[in-house]
């Protein structure tokens, strides 16, 4: 693939902008297995293999990925929307190339795999791979997601039983149930869900006579939110991470 096309595919701007970056000497490349040295390239038509290629664009190092798979530790007070209504968008926490990667859809950049409420924290996936987004977010795929919940009132055994057997929400006559519910404190439970409805956790707790005071998503599939990833930070997902995400228990 030509270097100018690689830059474009990674989200560094239009093809004209990418060509200009190369011509002005702002782009260096590092090939796999060549150590830590970058080589400046002034020819946008130079051919490179995308796999394993490292770029340095305007002094910033960038690993090339055919598709972007990203994990963010979503902080409170942010919205999972490109056009937020009240709070800052989670997309402002990402570097510009991830926000303007070209896609086949009308919307540029990576997209959140499902949404978390503005006051909910924790594990949020983003990608420009439509199949990946569908597989991880579709209720038909039954991908388990674990939520750590702080409740207003102590959680009793009868409430746990109802969450496991199923409660009816006001917009759907079909009961929704938790895959598991672990009481870890008088006002704290870990709830595992395999589908995602609008405000589902909050509405399920309300249906059993309780109230969510704090909500944090800690796991998707078999992957836990890394303890060393602070709120507002993000990381590329590794191949091992992608395997864990597909685990169903």
- Residues labelled as active-site residues: 117
Distance set, CA 30 to CA 51, 55, 121, 157 (Å): 11, 6, 36, 58
CA dist 119 and 87 (Å) reads 10
Asked if 122 and 144 touch (Cβ cutoff 8 Å), the reply is no
Token pair of 184 as six digits: 């870890």
Distance set, CA 43 to CA 13, 22, 57, 194, 246 (Å): 17, 7, 14, 50, 41
Distance set, CA 99 to CA 12, 87, 91, 192 (Å): 10, 18, 7, 31
Q: Is 84 exposed, middle or buried (0-12, 13-18, 19+ CB in 10 A)?
A: middle
| Residue from 174, 171, 173, 181 nearest 205 by CA | 181
């Amino acid at each position: 693939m030509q270097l100018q096309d690689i830059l474009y595919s990674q989200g560094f701007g239009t093809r004209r902008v990418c060509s200009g970056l190369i011509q002005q000497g702002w782009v260096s490349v590092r090939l796999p297995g060549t150590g830590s040295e970058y080589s400046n390239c002034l020819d946008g038509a130079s051919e490179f293999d995308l796999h394993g290629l490292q770029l340095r664009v305007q002094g910033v190092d960038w690993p090339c990925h055919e598709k972007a798979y990203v994990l963010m530790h979503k902080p409170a007070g942010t919205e999972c929307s490109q056009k937020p209504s009240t709070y800052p968008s989670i997309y402002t926490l990402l570097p510009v190339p991830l926000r303007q990667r070209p896609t086949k859809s009308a919307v540029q950049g990576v997209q959140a795999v499902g949404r978390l409420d503005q006051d909910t924290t924790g594990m949020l996936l983003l990608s420009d791979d439509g199949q990946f987004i569908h597989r991880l977010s579709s209720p038909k795929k039954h991908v388990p997601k674990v939520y750590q919940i702080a409740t207003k009132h102590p959680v009793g055994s009868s409430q746990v039983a109802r969450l496991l057997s199923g409660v009816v929400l006001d917009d759907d006559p079909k009961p929704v149930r938790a895959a598991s519910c672990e009481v870890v404190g008088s006002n704290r439970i870990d709830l595992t869900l395999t589908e995602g409805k609008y405000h589902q956790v909050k509405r399920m707790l309300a249906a059993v006579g309780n109230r969510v005071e704090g909500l944090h998503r800690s796991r998707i599939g078999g992957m836990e939110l890394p303890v060393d990833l602070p709120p507002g930070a993000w990381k590329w997902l590794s191949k091992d991470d992608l395997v864990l995400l597909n685990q169903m228990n």
